[in-house]
């Protein structure tokens, strides 16, 4: 028997989440069984712990869109007992049982061996949010980061915190947009040199183009803020669009694309092929300073998750939450 956070659908159609002891016979099919050590709290986890929002296929459900741990048994020659592995994406924790559990069974294709230089706790301090931040930085690099500050929106959140730390450690000037002025010192400790108040970019303007300001952007917010930022990008600069914490609509014009050659790059962490995932994790181990990672982390245990799921949907979580599933 092992512990897991199980979300059930009640007779009234509402969901409830509780830590339960379950047997291995209830694990889904898969090639590799992993003794999970750590998982994390991401925005999607908030949705899956709560009503699901269409992400969860079947109840009862074990959320947790990422985890790191040690292989216990494997039917796949690529993995053997004792190997350290990390998983993000592939709809684990949404359509399939995820990492809020002391054991997980998954397809071997969804795993990545833990890169040298990262332990399982550090890997989950990064987690899906940090992995996505790295993919965003790599996409900006592929298209060329221009001179001038790189803007990070939703900077005090999970994606934003890791993106800020990576970009700063690569030598870029970073401007962090936050709606929480009290996080300014935290963002500066991660390497941001400029703090932009959320209200400055939430104000709508009729002007489709403004002063060319940003050499690149990692955007976790979307909505009106993304529309505004597009008109402030330098000529030929790129925005890596990661999330929609501020809304799914995009009330923009085509002018920044036509007159400034701005690139809007969509980032999807879920269906990344194995080689890309490996490359991103190796870059994380190399380019993300571990002392900055420590500053982002708050610890949690399985029983904290229902409250944390609500907090992250309200934009109230700072940095990264690492869940020790065995505590």
Where does this chain bind ligand NDP (CB under 6 A)? Answer: 42-44, 128-129, 132, 154-160, 178-180, 183, 198, 220-221, 225, 242-246, 267-270, 312, 315, 317
Task: Characterise 129 by phi-psi region: left (phi > 0), alpha (psi -120 to 50), beta (else).
Answer: alpha
- 102/176 with CB nearer ligand NDP: 176
Give the HSE-up count for residue 201: Cα atoms under 13 Å, Cβ half-sphere: 30
Specify the length of the chain in residues: 327
- 114/245 with CB nearer ligand NDP: 245
We find the least distance from the C-beta atom of residue 197 to ligand NDP, in angstroms, to be 9
- 27/133 with CB nearer ligand NDP: 133
We find the least distance from the C-beta atom of residue 266 to ligand NDP, in angstroms, to be 8
Dist CA 179 CA 171 (whole Å):
25
User: 16 pairs with which residues across the strands?
Assistant: 8
Q: Do residues 111 and 86 lie in contact, with contact meaning Cβ atoms separated by under 8 Å?
A: yes
Tokens at 57, concatenated: 């296929």
How are the residues of the chain apportioned to helix, strand and coil, as percentages rounded to the nearest 5?
A: 35, 25, 40
- 5/296 with CB nearer ligand NDP: 296
We find the least distance from the C-beta atom of residue 238 to ligand NDP, in angstroms, to be 15
- 251/261 with CB nearer ligand NDP: 251
- 105/160 with CB nearer ligand NDP: 160
We find the least distance from the C-beta atom of residue 199 to ligand NDP, in angstroms, to be 10
We find the least distance from the C-beta atom of residue 65 to ligand NDP, in angstroms, to be 8
Per DSSP (E only), the strands in the chain are 2-9, 15-22, 32-40, 66-74, 84-88, 103-106, 111-113, 150-152, 174-178, 194-197, 216-219, 238-241, 263-266, 297-300, 320-324
We find the least distance from the C-beta atom of residue 198 to ligand NDP, in angstroms, to be 5
We find the least distance from the C-beta atom of residue 27 to ligand NDP, in angstroms, to be 25
Q: Do residues 54 and 122 lie in contact, with contact meaning Cβ atoms separated by under 8 Å?
A: no
User: 103 pairs with which residues across the strands?
Assistant: 35
What φ, ψ does residue 51 adopt, rounded to 5°?
Answer: -70, -10
- 167/220 with CB nearer ligand NDP: 220
């Amino acid at each position: 028997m092992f512990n897991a956070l199980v979300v059930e659908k009640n007779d009234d159609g509402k969901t409830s989440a509780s830590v339960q002891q379950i047997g291995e016979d209830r694990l889904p099919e898969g090639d590799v069984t992993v003794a999970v050590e750590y998982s994390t709290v991401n925005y999607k986890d908030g949705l899956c712990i709560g009503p699901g929002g269409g992400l969860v296929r079947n109840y009862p459900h074990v959320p947790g869109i990422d985890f790191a741990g040690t292989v216990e048994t494997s039917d796949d020659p690529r993995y053997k007992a004792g190997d350290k592995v990390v998983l993000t994406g592939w709809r684990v924790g949404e359509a399939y049982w995820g990492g809020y559990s002391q054991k997980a069974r998954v397809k071997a294709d969804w795993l990545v061996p833990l890169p040298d230089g990262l332990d399982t706790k550090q890997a989950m301090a990064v987690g899906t949010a940090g992995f996505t931040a790295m993919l965003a930085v790599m996409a900006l690099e592929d298209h060329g980061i221009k001179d001038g500050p790189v803007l990070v929106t939703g900077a005090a959140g999970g994606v934003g915190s890791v993106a800020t730390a990576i970009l700063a450690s690569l030598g870029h000037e970073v401007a962090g947009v936050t709606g929480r002025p009290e996080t300014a010192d935290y963002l500066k400790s991660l390497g941001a040199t400029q703090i932009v108040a959320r209200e400055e970019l939430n104000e709508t303007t009729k002007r489709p183009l403004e002063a060319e300001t940003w050499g690149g952007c990692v955007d976790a917010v979307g909505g009106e803020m993304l529309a505004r930022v597009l008109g402030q990008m330098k000529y030929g600069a790129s925005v890596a669009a990661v999330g929609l914490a501020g809304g799914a609509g995009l009330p923009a014009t085509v002018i920044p694309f036509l007159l400034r050659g701005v690139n809007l790059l969509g980032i999807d962490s879920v269906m990344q092929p194995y080689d890309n995932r490996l490359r991103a994790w190796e870059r994380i181990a190399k380019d993300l300073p571990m002392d900055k990672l420590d500053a982002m982390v708050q610890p949690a245990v399985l029983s904290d998750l229902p409250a944390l799921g609500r907090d992250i949907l309200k934009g109230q979580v700072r940095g990264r939450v690492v869940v020790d599933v065995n505590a």
